[in-house]
Amino acid sequence: MHESKIQTLNEVIIQEQSAFPYAKGELSRLLMHIGLAAKIVNSKINKAGLDTSILGSNEKQNIQGETQQKLDDFANTIFIKALQASGIVCGVASEEDDEIVVFNDNLSLDGSYIICIDPLDGSSNIDVNVSVGSIFSIYRKISSFGRKVTNEDFLQPGNKQVAAGYVIYGSSTMLVYTTGYGTTAFTYEPAIGEFCLSTKFMTTPESGRIYSINEGNYIKFPIGIKKYIKYCQENDPISNRPYTLRYIGSLVADFHRNLLKGGIYIYPKTAVSCFGKLRLLYECNPIAFLAEQAGGKATDGYGNRILDIKPESIHQRVPFVVGSAKMVLKVEEFMQEFGDGYNDEH
């Protein structure tokens, strides 16, 4: 029999599901709907350079106080429509919506899952053709079956995620996800309009040379972070400095590069924002799940595992240190030794 080398997202999901005989196929169906939404968003982003009407901002601010880009709005609409069409999602928490989006149709009211999404992360990069991403995090609904989803359903710790992933719209478009059994990567093949399996059981190096942080905020960083940055810059045995700074202002792209090559991404608290910038539900938790499944670590810099943090609100921010395990531990050593105060002598 001719063995086809290409395995599509749907085929791999169905294969994975067959490993769980009691699975009703709902999660599989949900991941397929996410894949469809990603294809639609990918198509729009790829045309953005030609259809400039989709570029730029729509003059609205989201709850984060960030100017919403037109493509943020588009991506949000596409993902929410696809998730509602799945008939197994009862609600969504999105970076682009102040409150949770509750699905009231009969099919969705019986849905077993809730989703947290950042529909288009790093979207300010779109107009300059830098990679952006979509991030998703999937939980089981915990409130009464058949009743409307509640805020409490979304305030579960990240260790309750049943699946998580991201799409990176870069030189190629990739979908990377985990259901708790390793991190798996797919590459979009436009010729057939499918995400095709590229890597199963991805592993990230336990250490690396890349550190990703916005050094423009240096004076606002805690002392421990300032000391770690200097350690990276000065740790230079005979000018063979092992570290290099790579930061493009797009979490998904910075994380994806570090996942493959080894490295660390840091968005700490600052003197301006005492919880940092990144949101726990739809940025830190899904990325942390993927990192741990690939052998990496994700904490808040103070030894607290991101996936164990109990959310208090749907747009809660947390300090975020994620990537190669040894590098995360090194940051925590500096934070432990020098503390997280602010001192302009360093």
Residue 69 is a binding residue for ligand P6P (CB under 6 A) = no
Residue 62 is a binding residue for ligand P6P (CB under 6 A) = no
Residue 277 is a binding residue for ligand P6P (CB under 6 A) = yes
Q: What is the 3-state secondary structure (H, E, C) of the chain?
A: CCCCCCCEHHHHHHHHHHCCCCCCCHHHHHHHHHHHHHHHHHHHHHHCCCCHHHCCEEEEECCCCCEEEHHHHHHHHHHHHHHHHCCCEEEEEECCCCCCEECCCHHHHCCCEEEEEEEEECHHHHHHCCCEEEEEEEEECCCCCCCCCCHHHHCCCHHHCCEEEEEEECCCEEEEEECCCCEEEEEEECCCCEEEEEECCCCCCCCCCEEECCHHHHHHCCHHHHHHHHHHHHCCHHHCCCCEECCCCCHHHHHHHHHHHCEEEEECCCCCCCCCCCEHHHHHHHHHHHHHHCCCEEECCCCCEHHHCCCCCCCCECCEEEECHHHHHHHHHHHHHHCCCCCCCC
Q: Which span sits near ligand P6P by CB under 6 A: 54-62, 141-149, 198-206, 243-251?
A: 243-251
Tell me the number of residues near ligand P6P by CB under 6 A: 9
Q: CB of residue 277 vs ligand P6P: minimum separation in angstroms?
A: 5
Residue 67 is a binding residue for ligand P6P (CB under 6 A) = no
Residue 249 is a binding residue for ligand P6P (CB under 6 A) = yes
Which one of 16, 72, 73, 121 is in contact with ligand P6P (CB under 6 A)? 121
Contact 282, 135 (CB under 8 A): yes
Nearer to ligand P6P, 79 or 103 (CB): 79
Residue 137 is a binding residue for ligand P6P (CB under 6 A) = no
Closest C-alpha among 208, 236, 235 to residue 328: 208
Residue 258 is a binding residue for ligand P6P (CB under 6 A) = no
Residue 61 is a binding residue for ligand P6P (CB under 6 A) = no
Which one of 7, 214, 275, 342 is in contact with ligand P6P (CB under 6 A)? 214
Which one of 87, 119, 122, 224 is in contact with ligand P6P (CB under 6 A)? 122
Residue 239 Rama label (left phi>0; alpha psi -120 to 50; beta): left
Q: CB of residue 23 vs ligand P6P: minimum separation in angstroms?
A: 32
Residue 207 is a binding residue for ligand P6P (CB under 6 A) = no
Residue 251 is a binding residue for ligand P6P (CB under 6 A) = yes
Residue 250 is a binding residue for ligand P6P (CB under 6 A) = yes
Q: How far is CA 133 from CA 42, 222, 227, 232, 269, in A?
A: 10, 29, 31, 27, 23
Q: CB of residue 49 vs ligand P6P: minimum separation in angstroms?
A: 21
Residue 72 is a binding residue for ligand P6P (CB under 6 A) = no
Nearer to ligand P6P, 269 or 277 (CB): 277
Nearer to ligand P6P, 142 or 260 (CB): 260
Nearer to ligand P6P, 103 or 211 (CB): 211
Nearer to ligand P6P, 220 or 305 (CB): 220
Nearer to ligand P6P, 108 or 250 (CB): 250
- Residue 40 carries which side chain, given as an amino acid letter? I
Q: Which span sits near ligand P6P by CB under 6 A: 37-45, 71-79, 109-117, 247-255?
A: 247-255
Residues forming the site for ligand P6P (CB under 6 A): 121-122, 214, 249-251, 254, 277-278
